[in-house]
Amino acid sequence: MLTGIHVVMIGGDARQLEIIRKLSTLDARISLVGFDQLNDGFIGANKQELSEIDWGTAEAILLPVGGMSNDGFINSVFSNEKLKLEEIHLSETPETCTIYTGISSDRLEKLAKKTKRQIAVLMNRDDVAIYNSIPTAEGAVMLAIQHTDTTIHHAKVAVLGLGRIGLTIAKTFKSLGADVSVGVRESALLARAFELGMRPFSIDRAKEALSEMDIVINTIPAKVVTANVLTEMKQHAFLLDLASKPGGIDLTYAEKRGLKAMLVPGLPGMVAPKTAGKILANVLSDLLLEQIQS
């Protein structure tokens, strides 16, 4: 149980609702900032302004999956207010206070270092990424169906990256009958793709490999699908970039060529916010229990 533990939640989207439910069930004391348009009532949770928070008792600060931008602002779909966590807030918290965020940023790292507070980056955890790969893969299938005029079955699909998310996506499309190719750099991953019955190719050969593809799904957070690569792609090809911003596909050039392309980071929160929220809620509750027991 988290009885009496003061958690400050700042901003977010529908995923935060599952986290609130979980922490409320565990009897935590929750301060909600940036939730003024939320009508749901949760036991133990109170809507407050940043200026109203009792920072001296805050043992954890929960930021959204998107974290804090480099201009210092935190987004919330439940408020029109501009939310900004400042040094003055963190400096008043106990030294053991931990900041939990989906992804980090230079601004947040500097703020934590200056105030000597710890940051826990949830999306860096293998368990969170692997659980999240399930709704991500389902979302990729949904978008592929919406933006193509042929079946996934027998479609030529390239997945760039065979990490925690790329692996699930590649296996999902293969299970639907797609002809899946996998682009990676490491020789071990080339071997893994071959073992899985997929067509491996080196990212260095992306121009040649992607020229015949119907669907390209990128999970690599670096520019790998450049203008040079896009020039050779079929006009009907659909490109889906799931990597963290700025992504790995040159979307500006893709648009100039008339190709269908989109950057969709945070896909689980769009297609399955309840499931994605439960994943985060379970991990967060375990981390908070570990924090108070240490």
Residues 6+ apart with CB under 8 A from 205: 183
Residues 282 and 199 in one domain: no
- The CATH number of the domain holding residue 99 is 3.40.50.720
What is the residue range of 212's domain? 128-263
pLDDT of residue 186: 95
Q: What is the pLDDT of residue 266?
A: 83
The total of structural domains in the chain comes to 2
- Measured torsion, CA atoms of residues 189, 190, 194, 200, in degrees rounded to the nearest 10: 130
- Sign of the torsion angle spanned by Cα atoms 91, 92, 98, 104: negative
Asked if residue 169 belongs to a domain, the reply is yes
Domain identity same for 117 and 134: no
pLDDT at 49: 93
Do residue 141 and residue 251 come from a single domain? yes
Residue 136 domain-assigned?
yes
Are both 163 and 220 inside the same structural domain?
A: yes
In-domain check, residue 1:
no
Do 115 and 132 have their domain in common? no
Give the pLDDT confidence of 95-109 residue by residue, as tens digits.
999 999 999 999 999
Query: Are 76 and 89 in a shared domain?
Result: yes
Spatial separation of the C-alpha atoms in residues 165 and 172, rounded to whole Å: 11
Residue 81 CA to residue 229 CA, distance in Å, equals: 42
> What integer pLDDT is reported at residue 253 of this predicted model?
96
Interval 15-44: pLDDT, tens: 999 999 999 999 999 999 999 998 877 878
pLDDT of 180-237, one tens digit each? Answer: 999 999 999 999 999 999 999 999 999 999 999 999 999 999 999 999 999 999 999 9
Separation between Cα atoms, residue 273 and residue 250, nearest integer Å: 28
Predicted TM-score (pTM) of the model is 0.88
Count of all residues that appear for the chain in the document: 294
Q: Do residue 195 and residue 119 come from a single domain?
A: no
In a domain? residue 268? no
DSSP state for residue 82 in the 8-state scheme: P
